[in-house]
């Protein structure tokens, strides 16, 4: 790699790290598009700064002057977004849209005026929109490095404060923390990253850099520190991979390639993320569905066996029951019962299912008794402690019983004061001999 390529790769990596860090806080504050509004609002500042510098007799292309102008209008624009949101009935998405378009329009108008300056050296100003990644110089690199160091140090120092700001602003305020000032510091960091990144890599890439790494990192962890580290790494990695690839294949704009690398990392995380990824969540849901299905099946069988023992709890014995009985017990289709049974057979809860009759295995019978008992415990608890009518309690119990932990079951036993399997509380309101007893849906 030659000197220039190294410079570009290092710069994009640093920018990725810095914006990954800042972007995490933005994402958690649900302000991801703030970078979008801010970066567009920088444009009039650039044009105006150029005009002022030309009028003052300067060259008009002094980098520090242009960046200062960009910062002023950028931060001013975001301040206006907050002002509109807080003082009028306009919601923050519309406030952002208004500031973004009006400021960008102003910028386009100012640049349109600048173009007619006889000097005409303003043509180069448009790299603020598309970036000039491949032609970065040492000054850009140093500026980026400085901002990255500041972002790293401040995020490390203020991590606790920013965390509270992101998760519970009201609590932070009630603790007496200077929430407003913290918000300003965070906004200042975003502005610094945006302005410096804008002229280095362009508008679209900086918006992407502020959103995508943080959103990708969120799929892998629920811990803020882990998320910060991961988000910074994803940002750095996409900067490194993207700029390397674009340097190998000349003619590809580095900014676009970096965005695509980050987007691929995001897509991978979306599906395979270990904390909130799609596949992981689908697996968890299907496991829960399976558990619910198993418990419903076992309880249904147990209640059939119970009805055969004719109200004598000690006489419930594990004996074969017919498939038709089981289907009639709940509002299940025959296909659904067959599916449940085949799972139960695999789990060794049922043996001897020949299509017409079935019998629980030893472990299945124990599990059925336990499940039924949990359900009844919870029902009785709801009736006696939560004042829910016995006729409604089955549904309510159903939504919780599948996630009762052993500790909670023990607590329930103490509260309700029962050790063995209680009779179904529905019998309290329904005569024991009534045939409807078996038809309870739950």
CB 248 → other proteins: shortest distance, Å? Answer: 15
Contact between 149 and 18 under an 8 Å Cβ cutoff? The reply is no
CB 150 → other proteins: shortest distance, Å? Answer: 24
Task: Rule CB under 8 A: choose which of 76, 121, 127, 130 binds other proteins.
Answer: 130
Residues between 21 and 40 with contacts to other proteins, criterion CB under 8 A: 27, 30-33, 35-36
- 10 Å Cβ neighbour count for 174? 10
User: Measuring CA to CA, which residue among 30, 36, 17, 258 is closest to residue 151?
Assistant: 17
CB 212 → other proteins: shortest distance, Å? Answer: 5
CB 271 → other proteins: shortest distance, Å? Answer: 9
Residue 88 in contact with other proteins, rule: CB under 8 A: yes
Which residues sit opposite 351 in a β-bridge?
359
CB 253 → other proteins: shortest distance, Å? Answer: 6
CB 398 → other proteins: shortest distance, Å? Answer: 24
Contact between 365 and 372 under an 8 Å Cβ cutoff? The reply is no
From residue 271 to residue 310, the character string flagging contacts with other proteins as x (rule: CB under 8 A) and all else as - is -----xxx--------------------------------
Instruction: Decide whether 88 or 363 has the Cβ nearer to other proteins.
Output: 88
CB 191 → other proteins: shortest distance, Å? Answer: 17
Residue 218 in contact with other proteins, rule: CB under 8 A: yes
* Backbone phi and psi for residue 358, each to the nearest 5 degrees, phi listed first: -145, 165
CB 161 → other proteins: shortest distance, Å? Answer: 22
Q: Is 202 left (phi over 0), alpha (psi -120 to 50) or beta?
A: left
Which residues sit opposite 321 in a β-bridge?
358
CB 5 → other proteins: shortest distance, Å? Answer: 19
Instruction: Decide whether 101 or 391 has the Cβ nearer to other proteins.
Output: 101
Instruction: Decide whether 257 or 368 has the Cβ nearer to other proteins.
Output: 257
Burial state string for 112-141 with b = 16 or more CB within 10 A and e = fewer than 16? eebeeeeeeebeebebbbebbbbebeeebb
CA distance 43 to 329: 70
- 10 Å Cβ neighbour count for 36? 20
Residues between 186 and 205 with contacts to other proteins, criterion CB under 8 A: 204-205
**Count of residues engaged in binding other proteins, rule: CB under 8 A:** 62
Residues between 91 and 120 with contacts to other proteins, criterion CB under 8 A: 91, 93-98, 100-102, 104-113, 116-117
Task: Rule CB under 8 A: choose which of 38, 42, 72, 84 binds other proteins.
Answer: 84
Question: Which residues, in sequence order, are CB contacts of 30 under 8 Å at separation 6+?
Answer: none
Task: Rule CB under 8 A: choose which of 61, 126, 361, 411 binds other proteins.
Answer: 126
CA distance 54 to 66: 12
Contact between 304 and 322 under an 8 Å Cβ cutoff? The reply is no
**DSSP string for residues in 161-220:** HHHHHHH-HHHHHHTT--HHHHHHHHHHHHHHHHHHHHHHH-HHHHHHHHHHHHHHHHTT
From residue 44 to residue 83, the character string flagging contacts with other proteins as x (rule: CB under 8 A) and all else as - is ----------------------------------------
Task: Rule CB under 8 A: choose which of 82, 152, 164, 260 binds other proteins.
Answer: 260
Task: Rule CB under 8 A: choose which of 235, 255, 425, 442 binds other proteins.
Answer: 255
Contact between 429 and 391 under an 8 Å Cβ cutoff? The reply is yes
CA distance 244 to 237: 10
Task: Rule CB under 8 A: choose which of 212, 298, 305, 341 binds other proteins.
Answer: 212
Contact between 190 and 26 under an 8 Å Cβ cutoff? The reply is yes
Q: What is the 8-class DSSP label of residue 242?
A: H
Q: Which residues lie near other proteins (CB under 8 A)? A: 27, 30-33, 35-36, 84, 87-91, 93-98, 100-102, 104-113, 116-117, 126, 129-130, 204-205, 207-208, 210-212, 214-215, 218-219, 251-253, 255-257, 259-260, 263, 266, 270, 276-278
């Amino acid at each position: 790699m030659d000197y220039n390529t190294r410079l570009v790769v290092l710069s994009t990596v640093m920018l990725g790290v810095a914006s990954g860090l800042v972007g995490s806080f933005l994402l958690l504050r649900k302000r991801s598009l703030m970078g979008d509004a801010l970066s567009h609002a920088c444009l009039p500042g650039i044009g105006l700064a150029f005009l002022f510098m030309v009028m003052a007799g300067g060259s008009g292309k002094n980098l520090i002057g242009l960046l200062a102008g960009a910062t002023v209008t950028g931060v001013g624009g975001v301040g206006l977004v907050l002002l509109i949101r807080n003082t009028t009935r306009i919601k923050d998405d519309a406030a952002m849209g208004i500031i973004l378009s009006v400021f960008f329009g102003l910028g386009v108008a100012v640049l349109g005026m600048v173009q007619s300056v006889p000097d005409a050296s303003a043509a180069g100003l448009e790299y603020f929109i598309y970036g000039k990644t491949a032609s970065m110089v040492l000054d850009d690199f140093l500026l980026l490095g400085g901002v990255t160091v500041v972002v790293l140090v401040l995020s490390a120092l203020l991590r606790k404060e920013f965390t509270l700001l992101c998760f519970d602003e009201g609590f932070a305020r009630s603790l007496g923390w200077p929430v407003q000032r913290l918000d300003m510091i965070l906004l200042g960091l975003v502005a610094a990253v945006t302005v410096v990144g804008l002229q280095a890599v362009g508008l679209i890439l900086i918006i992407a850099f502020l959103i995508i790494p943080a959103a990708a990192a969120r799929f892998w962890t629920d811990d803020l520190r882990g998320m910060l580290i991961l988000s910074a790494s994803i940002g750095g990695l996409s900067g490194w991979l993207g700029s390397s690839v674009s340097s190998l294949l000349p003619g590809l704009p580095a900014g676009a390639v970096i965005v695509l690398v980050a987007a691929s990392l995001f897509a991978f995380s979306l599906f395979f993320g270990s904390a909130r990824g799609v596949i992981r969540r689908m697996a968890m849901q299907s496991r829960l569905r399976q558990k619910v299905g198993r418990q419903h099946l076992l309880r249904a069988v147990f209640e059939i066996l119970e009805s055969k023992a004719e109200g004598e709890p000690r006489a419930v014995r594990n004996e074969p029951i017919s498939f038709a009985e089981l289907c009639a017990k709940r509002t299940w289709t025959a296909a659904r019962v067959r599916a449940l049974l085949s799972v139960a057979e695999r789990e060794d809860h049922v043996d001897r299912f020949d299509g017409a009759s079935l019998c629980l295995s030893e472990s299945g019978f124990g599990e059925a008794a336990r499940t039924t008992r949990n359900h009844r415990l919870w029902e009785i608890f709801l009736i006696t402690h939560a004042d829910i009518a016995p006729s409604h309690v089955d549904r309510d119990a159903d939504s919780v019983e599948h996630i009762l932990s052993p500790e909670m079951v023990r607590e329930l036993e103490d509260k309700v004061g029962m050790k063995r399997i209680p009779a179904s509380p529905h019998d309290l309101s329904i005569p024991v001999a009534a045939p409807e007893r078996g038809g309870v849906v739950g």
